Amino acid sequence: MKRSALEITKSQELIYELRIEQVMTKEVITVTSSTLMSELKEILRLNRISGTPVLQDGQLVGIISIEDLIRALEAGEINVTVGEKMTRDVETVFDDESVVQVVTKFAQHGFGRLPVVNREGQLVGVITQGDVVRGLLRQLEVEYHEEEIHHYRASHIFEDIESDQTGLLLRYRVRPKDFVRGGEASSKLKRALERLGAKPQIVRRAGIATYEAETNLIIHATDGGEIIAEIRPERIKVSAIDNGPGIEDVERAMQPGFSTAPDWIREMGFGAGMGLNNIEVCADDMNLESKAGKGTRLEMIFILH
Ligand SMILES: Nc1ncnc2c1ncn2[C@@H]1O[C@H](COP(=O)(O)OP(=O)(O)OP(=O)(O)O)[C@@H](O)[C@H]1O
Ligand SMILES: [Mg+2]
Angstrom CA distances, 146 to 111, 140, 142, 252, stand at: 34, 10, 6, 41
220 CA to centre of ligand 1 in angstroms = 6
Q: Which of the listed residues 208, 216, 217, 250 should we mutate to test ligand 1's pocket, taking the one with most ligand atoms within 8 A of CB?
A: 216
How would you write the pLDDT of the chain (305 residues) with one tens digit per residue?
A: 556 676 778 888 888 889 999 999 999 999 999 999 999 999 999 999 989 999 998 789 999 999 999 999 999 888 899 999 999 999 999 999 999 889 988 988 888 889 999 988 889 999 999 999 999 999 999 888 888 877 766 667 777 788 888 899 999 999 999 988 889 999 999 999 988 888 888 999 999 999 999 999 999 999 999 999 999 988 999 999 999 899 999 999 999 999 999 998 888 888 999 999 999 999 999 999 999 999 999 999 999 87
The residue whose CA is least distant from atom 17 of ligand 1 is 275
* Residue 113: predicted pLDDT: 85
- pLDDT at site 4: 66
Residue 276 Cα to ligand 1 midpoint, Å, equals 7
Q: Which numbered ligand comes closest to the C-alpha of 278?
A: 1
* Same-fold call for 10-134 versus 168-303: no
d(CA 64, CA 62): 7
CATH code of the domain made up of 10-134? 3.10.580.10
pLDDT at 9: 80
Which numbered atom of ligand 1 lies nearest the CA of 242? Answer: 1
Gyration radius from the chain CA atoms: 29
Our mutation pick for probing the ligand 1 site, out of 175, 210, 220, 248, counting the most ligand atoms within 8 A of Cβ, is 220
Ligand 1 centre and the CA of 191: distance in Å? 25
Q: What is the 191 CA–ligand 2 centroid distance (Å)?
A: 22
19 CA distance to ligand 2 centroid (A)? 45
Domain ranges in the chain? 10-134, 168-303
Task: Say what the alpha-carbon torsion angle 135, 141, 147, 150 is, to the nearest 10 degrees.
Answer: -120
Q: What is the 3-state secondary structure (H, E, C) of 205-273?
A: HHHHHHHHHHHHHHHHCCCCEEEEEEECCCEEEEEEEECCCCCCCHHHHHCCCCCCCCHHHHHCCCCCC
Closest atom of ligand 1 to CA, residue 272:
26
Beta-carbon-side half-sphere exposure of residue 230 (alpha carbons within 13 Å): 8
The closest alpha carbon to 126, from 11, 46, 47, 12, belongs to: 47
Handedness of CA 263, 267, 270, 274 (dihedral sign): positive
Contact status, residue 20 vs residue 94, Cβ threshold 8 Å = yes
Model pTM above 0.85? no
Ligand 1 atom showing the smallest separation from residue 269 Cα:
27
Instruction: For domain 168-303, give the CATH superfamily.
Output: Histidine kinase-like ATPase, C-terminal domain (3.30.565.10)
> What pLDDT, on a 0 to 100 scale, did the predictor assign at position 111?
83
